Chains A and B, each alone.
Chain A
Amino acid sequence: MIVELARGLWTTLRALIFEKKVTVQYPEEKKPVKQRFRGRHYLDRYENGLEKCIGCSLCAAACPSDAIFVESAENTDEARYSPGERYASTYEINMLRCIYCGFCEDACPTEAIKMGDNYELSFTDRRQAIYTKEMLLVPVPPGGKPTPQVTPPGVYTRSVPEMKDPVD
């Protein structure tokens, strides 16, 4: 019996002394997520600051839990949010509904909605779980301008980036 006890204690001691610790002191210490981790979404911008989202609502259509709500409006050269004619005037994701499947990301024709690294979502109110466009949009990249922008006519005529012939 002593032997068994000692063997068991040895296992404990071995783990304590010789093995590498796996415990992470969260939240002081955070582990990096994997490359294909699907965390909280963000809405991307082009380098010049224009929003990639064109308000097409395909993410909302793809969403299996109906967590996304999009309303769109028309761009003008005086007040341009995104390239082309259409932009999202409202973009909301209900994070309580979201199941982080990433279908929205797949459906997006402009790679505007992307799933990021952030998994630290907590709310004290159900309303807080609704992320608005302002909360989802990334900051304007350096050198870019915030939206809406005043743009020269005839430049940003296409919503979806020009398709190219596939190169093998």
Chain B
Amino acid sequence: MLTEKYPSEIQAIFAKYPVKRSAVMPLLYLAQREEGYITKENMQEIANLLDLDVTEVAGIVGFYTMFHDEKAGKYRMQVCTDLPCALRGADAFLEALCDNLGIRVGETTPDGLITLEEVKCLGGCHRAPLFQIQEGDMVAFHENMTVEKTMELVEALRKSVNSSPRAATA
């Protein structure tokens, strides 16, 4: 239960907003803090707290790329394949990336390092192919990417994780 876990923080969030439902995003971040994703129970609880329907909360989680409803590896690699990106080769890039990582979209590498996700619009059409890497609250954009450069980055991440578990993403 979030109310039991973070009573003071929830109070603080509520204090910020004159309209209760506006607090939905900060509460979702709170729910995501520990596990890196939001469980259905947490969505229900937030819905109850804000007098919303759980579907409305889930819709917000689904819409934003930085809310997650499934457990993932240490890093989430989110590749945009929306129309402009696709025109700049994002589809082929994603496919090649899958082959190189040995996983399909939505899967996690066996070592638990990378979860590959396909998303729509990260707002960087002119520098596609691009992706963002998320680790906890940290987000890093990687633009004008090639498969080679990406695999180098993955190797770097793997090394940094092996040497120090608290390494930053970028």
A and B: direct contact (Cβ < 8 Å)?
A: no
Q: Give the B-binding residues of A (Cβ under 8 A).
A: none
Q: Give the A-binding residues of B (Cβ under 8 A).
A: none
